[in-house]
Amino acid sequence: MNTQVSGVTDLNTTFVRPLGFYIKGFNSLQNTHYYFIFLLFVYIATVLSNVILMSVILFVDNLHTPKYIAIFTLSVVDISCSTAIIPKCVDAFLMNSKFISYESCLAQMFFVHYFSAMESFTLVVLAYDRFISICFPLHCHTINTNTRMIIILVISWAIPLVFTVVGVHLITHLSFCKSTIINSYFCDYRPVYILACNDISANTIISTCFSFGFIFIPLIIIILSYACIIVAVMKIASAEGKWKTFKTCTAHLILVAIFYLPLLGTYLTVMSTQFIDTDVRILNTTLSATLPPLLNPIVYTLKTDEIMEQIRKLVRKRKTKSLILHFVFWLGRNSQKL
């Protein structure tokens, strides 16, 4: 596909920028429209489930603790990440609108990578919360306060912001004088910068740093924190006490597995074989980007006793109010007959 280009001069250097890109998507997979319809339902369910979880945390005073502040943040990130990916995918592959303007492409690239990094960092923050609660049970309330948790979360938002801004800014210093067809399902960083016809070494470095800084290093920190947690749990005398303590970590461990394992599979395959089929890569990356935001609130709701108890209370209150309203309505109707 031929696309008009525009020349932008910066410090006596002219960068050739296209008016936009074409998102290629799957190569040979058949009936892909069903897959994107599925993603649309995933998006709707993701928004609803996360809004419900956020509402419970927001309106129940008992849940205004460091742990649930982090979970609330995770829900915000989940909705944001899904919104950055799925609506444009549905528009591109169901409505056959595969062209995306240059500016919109950079915006999508920024938000997808930023919120994906935030997802990883928030899982690290939740691991920190479990580490403090289990390894320092007598001092956890003084060490891990709401204020400190908010400060940690603000820092965790700021670090990927800097890296993502730098990475996207480097794209603006590339010239695209050949193909403008992105071999991915969105404006992904590497599939975009490899289309450039000038030096991409800085982009390659920032891409590698991003992978290690926001996937491998956070995962290593989580593994180390759980190694300390296991040591602390093993010091508990009773088997029941050990299980009850470790049970508080199961929801977080499930989320860690859901988020990191597909990404690790993709990266290790590419590193070992230097190749991965495009359709397999897109399937893997779309699912690893869209399913965790859906499953996070479900897992935390089902595996956390405090949230389940608060939901039961809210349901009981609604049932009670409904019964009272029906009773008042019945009394009013019968009093009119009398």
Name the residue with tokens 């908010």: 150
What one-letter code names the amino acid at 123? L
Cα distance between residue 128 and residue 309, in whole Å: 24
The pLDDT assigned to 313 comes to: 74
Cα distance between residue 123 and residue 116, in whole Å: 11
Alpha helices by DSSP H, listed for the chain, are 32-59, 66-93, 102-135, 140-143, 146-171, 189-193, 201-211, 217-234, 239-247, 250-273, 278-303, 305-337
**Domains identified in the chain and CATH numbers:** 5-303 (1.20.1070.10)
Residue 32 pLDDT more than 90?
no
Higher-scoring residue by pLDDT: 31, 114: 114
At 101, which helix (H) or strand (E)? Answer: strand 99-101
The pLDDT assigned to 323 comes to: 55
pLDDT band at 120 (very low <50, low <70, confident <90, very high): very high
- Quote the pTM value: 0.86
Residue 5 pLDDT more than 80?
no
The pLDDT assigned to 281 comes to: 81
Read off the pLDDT of residues 167-207 as tens digits, 9 standing for 90 and up.
999 999 999 888 899 988 899 999 999 999 888 999 999 99
Read off the pLDDT of residues 247-305 as tens digits, 9 standing for 90 and up.
888 889 999 999 998 888 777 776 666 567 778 888 888 888 899 999 998 888 777 77
The pLDDT assigned to 11 comes to: 47
Name the residue with tokens 């939740």: 126
Per-position DSSP letters for 29-58, written without gaps between them: -S-HHHHHHHHHHHHHHHHHHHHHHHHHHH
